[in-house]
Amino acid sequence: MESVIKASQDTDFPAEIVHVISNISSAQGLDTAQSYNIPTSVIAHKDFATRTDFETALCDAINNENPNLVCLAGFMRILGQTYFDRIKAPTLNIHPSLLPKHKGLHTHQAALDARDKKHGATVHFVTPTLDDGAIIVQESIDINEGDDADDLAARLLPIEHKLYPTAIRKVLKQ
């Protein structure tokens, strides 16, 4: 998220971050956003009896900002139909794999277990199906002999930091 915040400070960046919302009160992104004077909110999914109730509250908070784009980062929940019925702005997510390979969690280890030669990151449109939306941008790295999941994660992180702002520029300048 911080890479997107920093990118948004460039005068030619096509977006302004107006609010950061997390479903986890201890998320580091909240502290990061506050350090840049970006308003934050916590809408904890555990505080709601149903997914629909949670998504309704989430959508109300998002729609209060009237966004042109919603960007997820570290949001580990599948959004259901309530969200997509109520949020009309495109929603993006970044995923640490070369989608459509290795959806879900533990992607670095999955790439190693599959004996992939390449690994990478993908920014994609979010749909109600896990990691299944149209791909906006991808970038790959080689998997080296002897790499472990931590090695891949460390080498991939700088690419993710570059990739998300690139995808936002691409989507908003279309």
User: Is 95 annotated in the active site?
Assistant: yes
Cα-Cα end-to-end distance for the chain: 22
Give this prediction's pTM: 0.95
Cis previous bond, 90, omega within 30: no
pLDDT tens digits along 44-92 = 999 999 999 999 999 999 999 999 999 999 899 999 999 999 999 999 9
pLDDT at 48: 98
pLDDT tens digits along 87-107 = 999 999 999 999 999 999 999
Q: Tell me the C-alpha to C-alpha distance, in Å, between residue 124 and each of 61, 118, 121, 144, 165.
A: 23, 19, 10, 26, 12
Q: Which of 19, 95, 108, 124 is catalytic?
A: 95
> Average of pLDDT values for 144-151?
98
Instruction: For residue 173, give the amino acid letter.
Output: K
pLDDT at 59: 98
Token representation of residue 95:
């995923």
pLDDT tens digits along 109-130 = 999 999 999 999 999 999 999 9
pLDDT at 108: 98
pLDDT-based confidence at 174, cuts 50/70/90? low
Q: What is the mean pLDDT of the chain?
A: 97
pLDDT tens digits along 32-44 = 999 999 999 999 9
